[in-house]
């Protein structure tokens, strides 16, 4: 019975789990090269192998940027469920790899061009992972070439990430990235509507947090075992500090599962995850117009 409760709880959470430019450069762009290269990663179902990448939520971020900027959209599976083909982790990793390839090609062709990365939902998950890779010195370019990173509804948002607009509670359903954004932390901005469960999971909702971890590690890379251990260790540590196993058991009762299903239904009906075009972040700007203006200032 306990196993059935765990499976039901994880199943209910599976979908959930699923303006300053840096410094200013004295160098000018090479002839024929943009001053700013923007790599945009769409969200789940906004692109795919069988269709061209579409701007989707990011259209109002990338449309109308200065002529000195060049924009490329990343094509990837953009799936969330195993029955769609790629599991979530495979899909996201493909987005990271394809975005990395675009940036590598531009860096080799245009040595003075700065790079901005922007993503929404699963695309923000991928964009944030790539930014963290670059920021910790493991990416295809040096951190100083990153002009900015914009993340909209990032499933791996950390409580300490610099937020635009009203601060959202908790963290992303997938759990914070180990090590953060390193040397690009000062140029990374995230926006999360407070009731968007993809990027604002309560810190004491351990069922969702475990489900998010399982989604992120569903394509486990043996080279990252240390990271998986740290991530699950953080959840277990928080659980033990909040009552341990009895707390987890209380979140697995029939009543708790029914409430979780109702909360998810309320979340989907609220459409908060797709409302960033109207979500106000201050100064008369929406999340998308703020992000557009911030990136425009980098070009």
pLDDT value for 29: 54
Strand order in the sheet with 114-120: 69-73, 36-41, 114-120, 146-152, 188-191
pLDDT tens digit sequence for 193-206: 999 989 998 777 76
Decide if pLDDT at 26 tops 80.
no
pLDDT value for 32: 87
Query: Could you give the percent of the chain with pLDDT greater than 90?
Result: 53
Please count the other Cβ atoms lying within 10 Å of the Cβ belonging to residue 217.
Answer: 18
| Structural contact between residues 41 and 293, judged by C-beta atoms closer than 8 angstroms | no
d(CA 195, CA 177): 21
DSSP assignment of 198-264: TT-B-TT-HHHHHHHHHHHTTT--GGGHHHHHHHHHHHHHHHHHTTSHHHHHHTTSHHHHHHHHHHH
Alpha-helical runs (H) found in 84-205:
88-109, 122-135
pLDDT tens digit sequence for 122-144: 999 999 999 999 999 999 999 99
pLDDT tens digit sequence for 242-268: 787 877 777 778 887 777 777 766 766
CA 22 and chain centroid, separation: 21
Buried-exposed string 148-187: b where 16+ CB fall within 10 A, e elsewhere: bbbbbbbbbbbeebebbbeebebbbbbbbbbebbbebbeb
Decide if pLDDT at 3 tops 60.
no
Per-residue confidence band for 280, with pLDDT thresholds at 50, 70 and 90: very high
Let me know if 285 is exposed, middle or buried by CB neighbors in 10 A (0-12, 13-18, 19+).
middle
Going by C-alpha positions, the residue among 96, 95, 172, 182 that lies closest to residue 135 is 182
What mean pLDDT value characterizes the chain? 82
Per-residue confidence band for 291, with pLDDT thresholds at 50, 70 and 90: very high
pLDDT value for 1: 46
Decide if pLDDT at 293 tops 60.
yes
pLDDT value for 220: 59
Higher pLDDT, 231 or 192: 192
* Domains in the chain: ranges and CATH: 2-296 (3.40.50.1820)
Beta-bridge partners for 154: none
Please report where in the chains the tokens 């692109």 appear, as a residue: 47
Let me know if 220 is exposed, middle or buried by CB neighbors in 10 A (0-12, 13-18, 19+).
exposed
Please report where in the chains the tokens 């209380």 appear, as a residue: 250
pLDDT value for 272: 85
The helix-helix angle for 206-216 and 2-17 (nearest 10°) equals: 70
pLDDT tens digit sequence for 61-84: 999 999 999 999 999 988 865 545
Whether the full predicted model's pTM is greater than 0.85, yes or no, is: no
Question: Average pLDDT for residues 35-54, to the nearest whole number?
Answer: 83
- Pull the structure tokens for residue 38: 């923007």
pLDDT tens digit sequence for 90-121: 889 999 999 999 999 999 999 999 999 999 99
Going by C-alpha positions, the residue among 125, 144, 19, 33 that lies closest to residue 79 is 125
pLDDT value for 229: 72
Decide if pLDDT at 21 tops 50.
no
- Pull the structure tokens for residue 93: 């990793």
């Amino acid at each position: 019975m306990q196993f059935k409760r765990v499976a039901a709880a994880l199943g209910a959470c599976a979908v959930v789990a699923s303006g300053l430019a840096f410094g200013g450069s004295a160098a000018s762009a090479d002839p024929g090269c943009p001053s700013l290269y923007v790599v945009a990663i769409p969200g789940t179902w906004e692109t795919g192998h069988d269709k061209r990448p579409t701007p989707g939520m990011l259209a109002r971020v990338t449309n109308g940027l200065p002529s000195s900027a060049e924009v490329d959209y990343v094509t990837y599976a953009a799936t969330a469920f195993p029955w769609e083909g790629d599991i979530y982790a495979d899909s996201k990793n493909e987005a990271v790899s394809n975005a990395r390839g675009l940036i590598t090609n531009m860096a080799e062709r245009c040595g003075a061009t700065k790079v901005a990365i922007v993503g929404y939902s699963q695309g923000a998950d991928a964009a944030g992972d790539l930014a963290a890779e670059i920021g910790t010195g493991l990416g295809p370019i040096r951190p100083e070439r990153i002009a900015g990173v914009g993340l909209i509804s990032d499933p791996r948002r950390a409580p300490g990430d610099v937020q635009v607009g009203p601060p959202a509670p908790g963290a992303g359903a997938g759990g914070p990235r180990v090590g953060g954004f390193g040397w690009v932390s000062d140029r990374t901005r995230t926006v999360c509507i407070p009731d968007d469960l993809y990027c604002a999971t309560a810190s004491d909702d351990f069922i969702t947090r475990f489900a998010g971890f399982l989604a992120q590690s569903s394509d486990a890379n043996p080279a990252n075992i240390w990271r998986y251990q740290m991530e699950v260790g953080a959840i277990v540590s928080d659980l033990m500090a909040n009552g341990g196993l009895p707390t987890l058991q209380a979140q697995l009762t029939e009543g708790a599962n029914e409430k979780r299903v109702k909360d998810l239904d309320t979340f989907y009906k609220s459409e908060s995850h797709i409302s960033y075009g109207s979500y106000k972040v201050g100064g008369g700007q929406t999340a998308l117009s703020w992000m557009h203006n911030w990136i425009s200032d980098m070009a």
